[in-house]
Structure 1
Amino acid sequence: MQHNDTKEQRLLRLLTQGLLAHAEQKTASELGDRSQYIGMSDIGKGMECMRSAVAGKLGMSAVSAATDLGTLPPDDVASILGRQVILQRGHWQEHGIEKALVATGVKLVPQLEISIEHNGVPIKAHLDFILVWGGKRPAVRILELKSNERIPDSLYASYEAQLYGQVGLIKSCWADPCFSIPETDVSEATFPEAMRIMFDVELPESPNAVDIEAWVLSISMSKVKPFGPYLPDEDILEACLQTAVAIWRTAEDVRTGNLELNDIDYCRGFHPLCDWCDVNSDCPKFQAVSISSDSVCGLELEELAMLKERKADLEGCIADAEERIRQTYSLIGVQDWISTGDHRFRVTTVAGRKTLDRALVMDKLISLIGDDLRAQAVLEQCEKTGKAHDRLYVGRINKPLKSAA
């Protein structure tokens, strides 16, 4: 059934359809058919939740460009649009970051592809940016961009696995003809050959003579924070490759009917990325008592979820406004109160909160007591555990969208 939309809603449907189509076109042109290989992001996801990674290889997405948005209620379209804006914002930032880096004159390669086969499983890594320096101190830097609503204190384990896989493959495949760069003459070349073709830069034939690091650039709407460096590690690379094999073979078992998706191991405990999983609607992790959304309890739960979403939006707006005010206050150059209407404002420096460095305390105790075990026992005797408390989690169910009748 087609909906009688307002002009504003028709515009949003058009924009949503365009974002979905653009996302699929960009993925096809840059990453190819992702069902035909295991990528680094698949490996990162598989290390945290094998069920989600396998579902991704099987193409179990919640929505695609083929979805008839005209038959969906406006609220569903708005939800898809919001999700697409968040997912695709990273691609828009990537274009801007590339232009900024190129403007510095640095030798930069976008979307370097590394293609290998491990135990019969095709594996590909697509690196956002590679920065290269030749000369007496040759160096290679991998730069992976991550778009975040808020800059995290530390990276998700899936992001770190992706970085370790990338930097590990650069080193282990250095002299193998498995490097390609889209829309250039570089195809199935060794890394030194690829850089020679691209920049006429001479690099050592062995990666051991090159300073190789990987970094993540976390970007929000107003801040940028680098995480790194991540260095090549043979053991972590091997773990990444074994995870790729497990994803590939498990997906094949599901395709052939030898295994059910819900028989696959999944992420245990609370994880913030579960809300973004396309197949969380029937995940065994969330087996629950179903309550009618029309019941008193159901309505109250839905209202709570809506209020928490509003709270998150408000907290983001408040944080942005506070940052702007702090910057303005600094530009004004005053130290006193600023008054306007019925309120007054002032930016002050507050002393940092004191914390106890447990490792340093342990070192001091060992130096005083002279016994590691006794020092550990003393430290444990001085520790205090807070009172247990209840915490209410609210998560979104990403149900496969169906056209309205």
Structure 2
Amino acid sequence: MQPDTIKAQGLLRLLTQGLLAHGEQKTANELGDRSQYIGMSDIGKGMECMRAAVASKLGLSAIPAATAVGEFAHEELGRVLGRQIILQRGHWQEYGIEKALTATGVKLVPQLEISIEHNGVPIKAHLDFTLVWGGKRPAVRILELKSNERIPASLYASYEAQLYGQVGLLKSCWAQPCFSVPQTEVQSVTFPQAIQSIFNVALPKLPDGVDIESWVLSISRSEVKSFGPYLADMGMLEACLQAAVGIWRTTEDVRSGSLDLNDLDYCRGFHPLCDWCDVNADCPKFQAVNIPSDSACGLELEELAMLKERKATLEKRIAESEERIRQTYSLIGAKDWISTKDHRFRVTTIAGRKTLDRSQMLDKLTSLIGDELKAQTALEQCEKSGKPFERLYVSKINKMLKSAA
């Protein structure tokens, strides 16, 4: 290996170690020991996949310790670094969003903690941002940030459970000494006391007259979308609390050996978050025939996975480049072709794809025939189904790197 290559690898190794160490410190400072309580994200995860939620409480994870970076081979280093860049992008966005909101003069509390015990189970909610307005029309807005590669059309059920748990706890615990701000003197006070201490703003002693909402801000590299409002619902809060108790009790059973992790319920069918699950390596959902990695078939499968990753990266770069060129074409006022040394380019408007509105067609047929059942039958007789086809899915395996505590 060339000296410059060794230095480049050393720099990437240093960056990877720093990202892992920063993630460990941030979690410890803001969230504490997550094995000692059930958080809102645990509840959301548990409602969709009990196995993943319990594994998280047991300390099973595909995220290595910062001290292990020196042992990584080149390929493993690249995989861990790439995953950390994606996972920690949310922390960087959180810092920037906090600065942006603070610049408006809004009264904002970062990482407000609500801590309770329900049926002997310790439960905590950590609110990314809590925005407060006092005066004659007091209002509180909980803002949860989600970093997404692509903005979803609708929120995942696990995210919504997290939001309902947060806003429900804020309203139900308003006048109880359950609120703290990590690394400050604001510890174990009521919500009005916390706001009075931080901003010298008086809020009602009870939440009944306060406008309380919870929102999600989904952020990708180039888009932002808000989801909400989510309002306090005692039925949803009770469901969240019961889920917390279930996760806690089940974790105790698995830890004691009376229950096996793979006996737990897991997410059925396709779910976009499964690829990011830290414990998907031996999940029963992905039971598979193991093929030796050095066999001809194993090598071809790994090459296919690598090519598909490259394809996804290239398609994204192509889409971004095409968008820039279309914008430039419009800005320079080009009407015809523009050319370079070996290629010419032109932006044209293509007519939209024509489709049939099935509902509207049924209404038209009904009005012509005078019988909705006959119209429905006629429409079904004209429908044609395409032939079944096969689709190949490629999904990453996130190997667990720590043993159960």
Do the two structures share a fold, i.e. TM-score over 0.5?
yes
Distance in 1, matches of 2:262 and 2:394, equals 22
Residue of structure 2 in register with 1:95 after alignment: 95
Q: Is the 2:150–2:220 Cα contact (8 Å) retained in structure 1? A: yes
Q: Deviations over 1:94-127 (max 9, x none)?
A: 1111111111111111111111111111111111
Name 1:286's counterpart in structure 2: 286
2:253 matched to which residue of 1?
253
Q: Does 1:119 align with 2:123?
A: no
Structure 2 counterpart of 1:22, one-letter code: H
Give the residue type in structure 2 aligned to 1:263: D
- Match in the other structure for 1:195: 195
CA distance in 2, matches of 1:245, 1:366: 54
How far apart are the structure 1 equivalents of 2:23 and 2:313? 25
Moved more, 174-183 or 92-101: 174-183
Greater alpha carbon shift after TM alignment, 347-356 vs 179-188: 347-356
1:54–1:372 distance in 2 versus 1, CA, 3 Å = farther
Q: Go from structure 1 to structure 2 and tell me whether the alpha carbon gap of 1:296 and 1:142 turns closer, same or farther (over 3 Å shift).
A: same
Q: Is the 8 A contact 2:275 2:396 kept in 1?
A: yes
Matched, 1:54 2:51: no
Given the alignment of the two structures, is residue 8 of structure 1 paired with residue 16 of structure 2, yes or no?
no
Q: What does residue 240 of structure 1 align with? A: 240
- How far 1:20 sits from its partner (Å)? 0.8
Give the AA of the match of 1:205. Answer: K
Say which SS state the counterpart of residue 68 (structure 1) adopts. helix
C-alpha displacement at 1:64, in angstroms?
2.8
Cα pair distance change 1:350/1:189, threshold 3 Å: farther
Aligned pair in 2 of structure 1 residues 231, 66: CA closer, same or farther (>3 Å)?
same
Distance (whole Å) between structure 2 residues aligned to residue 272 and residue 378 of structure 1: 38
CA shift, 1:347, in A, is 4.2
- Provide the aligned C-alpha RMSD in A: 3.0
Secondary structure of 2:273's partner? Answer: helix
Task: State the shift of 1:361 in Å.
Answer: 8.3
Q: State the one-letter code of the partner of 1:85.
A: I
| Secondary structure in structure 2 of the residue aligned to 1:306 | helix
User: What's the counterpart of residue 32 of structure 1?
Assistant: 32
Change (3 A) 1:255 1:348: same
Residue in 1 that maps onto 2:106: 106
Which residue identity does 1:16 align to in structure 2?
T
Tell me which amino acid in the other structure corresponds to 1:102: T
Q: Secondary structure at the match of 1:214?
A: strand
The change in CA–CA distance for 1:302 and 1:252 in structure 2 (over 3 A counts) is: same
- Go from structure 1 to structure 2 and tell me whether the alpha carbon gap of 1:346 and 1:67 turns closer, same or farther (over 3 Å shift): same
Q: In 2, distance between residues paired with 1:213 and 1:369?
A: 51
CA distance in structure 2 between the aligned counterparts of 1:204 and 1:394, rounded to whole angstroms: 54
Deviation at 1:252, TM superposition (A): 0.6
Report the Cα offset of residue 14 of structure 1: 1.2
Please give the alpha-carbon distance, in whole angstroms, between the structure 2 residues aligned to 1:206 and 1:381. 62
The Cα shift of 1:391 comes to 1.7
Q: 1:162 & 1:96 partners in 2: Cα distance?
A: 23
Once the 2 structures are TM-superposed, how far is the Cα of residue 377 of structure 1 from its aligned partner?
8.6
Q: Give the aligned partner of residue 145 of structure 2.
A: 145
2:184 matches 1:184 = yes
State the Cα distance separating 1:380 from its structure 2 match.
7.5
Query: What SS is found at the alignment partner of 2:131?
Result: strand
SS of 1:170's equivalent in the other structure is helix
Unmatched 5+ residue regions in structure 1? none
Structure 2: unaligned runs, 5 residues or longer: none
Q: How many angstroms does 1:138 deviate by?
A: 2.1
Task: Specify the SS of the correspondent of 1:6.
Answer: helix
Change beyond 3 A, Cα 1:8–1:191? same
| More deviation, 134-143/97-106 | 134-143
Letter paired with 2:107: K
1:389 pairs with 2:358? no
Equivalent AA in structure 2 for residue 71 of structure 1: E
TM superposition score normalised by structure 2: 0.88
- The amino acid that maps onto 2:97 is I
In structure 1, what residue type is equivalent to 2:302?
E
Q: Residue type matched to 2:112 in 1?
A: L
What one-letter code is carried by the residue in structure 2 that aligns with 1:157? A
Alpha-carbon separation, structure 1, partners of 2:395 and 2:17: 26
TM-score under structure 1 normalisation? Answer: 0.88
Where do residues 12-23 of structure 1 align in structure 2 (5 Å cutoff)?
12-23=12-23
Partner residue in 1 for 2:270 = 270
SS at match of 1:47: helix
**Number of the residue aligned with 1:338:** 338
Mapped partners of 2:371, 2:58: distance in 1: 56
**Contact 2:61 2:401 (8 Å CA) reproduced:** no
Matched to 2:141, the amino acid is R
Q: Residues 135 and 263 of structure 1: is their aligned pair in 2 closer, same or farther, counting only changes over 3 Å?
A: same
Q: 3-state SS of the aligned residue for 2:43?
A: helix
Structure 1 residue aligned with 2:219: 219
CA distance in 2 between counterparts of 1:385 and 1:91 reads: 47
CA distance in structure 1 between the partners assigned to 2:160 and 2:5 by the alignment: 44
**Hey, what does 1:157 align to over in structure 2?**
157
Distance apart, 1:33 and its partner CA: 0.5
Letter in 2 for 1:206: L
Counterpart residue type for residue 145 of structure 1: L
- Displacement of 1:336: 4.2
Tell me if 1:400 matches 2:392.
no
How many residues are paired up?
399
* Alpha-carbon shift at residue 337 of structure 1 (Å): 3.9
Change (3 A) 1:191 1:294: same
Shift of 1:284: 1.1
Deviates more, 1:311-320 or 1:90-99: 311-320
Q: Which amino acid aligns with 1:147?
A: S
SS of 2:185 mapped into structure 1:
coil
Aligned partner letter, 2:234: E
Determine helix, strand or coil for the equivalent of 1:189. Answer: coil
